[in-house]
C-alpha cells in the first residue's frame, strides 16, 4: 500500500488527476464548439423555412413558379449562408423601392441551382470528416479502478464498525489485538476526485496537527495500518476526518 505525508503526494495520483483535468478541459472545448455549430444550424433551419415561403421570391422574382426540386436544392445553401441572405432580405424589404431594387439582388435560377448543388457536394464530403473528428477528440477518462492496492488480508477481528450511506468504516485487529487496522469500504463512487483520512482529537477539525492515515478514491476496499493508540477503549478520545485536500474542506467526521 502507499503511505503519504503532509509534505508530498503520490506521483501516480498527480498524473491521473492531471489527465482527468486535461480530458475535462478538452471535452468542454469540443462541447462548446459543437453547441455553437448546432445553434447556428438550428437558426439556419428556422430561417430556411421562412425564406423558402417568402424570402426567395422577394430576392429573386424569377423563382416564382419553380418546382419543388428547386426549393429542396437551395435548402442546404440557405442554412449555411442564412446571415448573408437575411441581410439581403432585410435590405430589400426595408427599401421603399423594393421593386426597383429587386433586380440588383436577383440572380439567375441556373447559377443558383449550380451553387447549391456545389454546397451539397461540399457537405457530403465534410460531414464524414466532422463526425470522425468528433469521435477522435472525444475524451476517454481513465477507468474507475484503485490507484492504491489493498492489503493482502484483513485482520480477522472487527472491534468497531460504522455504517454510512456511501461507505463502511471498521476498526480491525489481529487475533491477540496487538496490531490494528482501519478498513474502509466505498459502497458508491466518490463525488470528489480523492480524499484523505486523518486522526484528530475528538471535536478537533483542524488537520494541521492531525495524524495522516491514508488516501481513498474510487470504489473498493482500503486497509490502513494503525498504531496502538487506536485501541477500542481509547475510541472516545479521537475521531477520523475525511478531508478533501483539493478544495480544503472537511467532508465527514467519523467517531467510533
More confident site: 96 or 68: 68
Tell how far CA 88 is from the center of its chain: 41
Q: How far apart are CA 181 and CA 174, in angstroms?
A: 8
Which pLDDT does position 110 carry in this prediction? Answer: 62
pLDDT (tens digit per residue) in 128-151:
888 888 887 776 655 544 444 444
- According to the model, what pLDDT value does residue 194 have? 78
Q: Is 204:184 a contact under the CB 8 Å cutoff?
A: no
Q: What confidence score (pLDDT) does residue 95 get?
A: 62
**Nearest-angstrom CA–CA distance, 16 and 217:** 12
Per-residue pLDDT tens over the stretch 237-246 = 788 999 988 8
All CATH 2.60.40 domain ranges of the chain, comma separated, are: 144-254
Which residues are within 8 A (CB) of 105 and not within 5 positions of it... i.e. 6 or more apart?
59, 60, 88, 91, 92
User: What pTM was estimated for this model as a whole?
Assistant: 0.42
CATH fold for the domain made of 144-254: Immunoglobulin-like (2.60.40)
Task: Give the distance from CA 233 to its chain's centroid.
Answer: 46
The CA angle 176-181-183, to the nearest 5 degrees, is 130
Which range has the worst mean pLDDT, 55-69, 100-114, 145-159, 161-175? Answer: 100-114
φ, ψ of residue 173 in degrees (nearest 5): -145, 160
Amino acid at each position: 500500500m502507499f503511505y503519504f505525508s503532509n509534505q508530498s503526494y503520490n506521483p501516480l495520483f498527480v498524473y491521473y488527476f492531471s489527465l482527468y483535468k486535461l480530458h475535462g478541459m478538452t471535452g468542454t472545448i469540443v462541447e462548446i464548439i459543437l453547441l455553437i455549430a448546432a445553434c447556428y444550424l438550428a437558426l439556419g433551419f428556422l430561417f430556411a423555412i421562412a425564406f423558402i415561403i417568402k424570402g426567395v421570391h422577394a430576392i429573386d422574382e424569377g423563382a416564382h413558379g419553380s418546382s419543388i426540386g428547386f426549393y429542396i436544392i437551395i435548402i442546404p445553401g440557405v442554412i449555411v449562408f442564412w446571415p448573408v441572405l437575411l441581410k439581403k432580405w432585410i435590405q430589400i424589404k426595408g427599401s421603399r423601392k423594393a421593386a426597383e431594387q429587386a433586380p440588383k439582388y436577383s440572380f439567375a435560377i441556373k447559377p443558383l441551382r449550380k451553387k447549391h448543388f456545389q454546397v451539397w457536394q461540399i457537405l457530403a464530403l465534410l460531414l464524414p470528416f466532422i463526425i470522425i473528428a468528433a469521435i477522435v477528440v472525444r475524451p476517454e477518462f481513465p477507468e474507475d479502478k484503485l490507484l492504491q492496492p489493498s492489503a493482502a488480508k484483513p485482520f480477522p477481528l472487527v472491534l468497531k464498525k460504522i455504517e454510512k450511506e456511501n461507505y463502511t468504516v471498521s476498526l480491525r485487529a489481529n487475533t491477540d489485538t496487538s496490531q490494528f487496522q482501519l478498513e474502509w469500504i466505498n459502497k458508491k463512487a466518490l463525488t470528489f476526485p480523492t480524499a484523505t483520512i486523518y486522526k484528530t482529537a475528538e471535536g478537533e477539525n483542524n488537520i494541521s496537527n492531525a495524524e495522516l492515515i491514508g488516501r481513498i478514491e474510487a470504489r473498493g476496499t482500503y486497509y490502513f495500518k494503525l498504531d496502538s493508540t487506536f485501541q477500542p477503549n481509547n475510541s472516545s478520545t479521537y475521531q477520523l476526518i475525511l478531508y478533501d485536500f483539493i478544495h480544503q474542506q472537511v467532508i465527514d467526521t467519523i467517531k467510533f
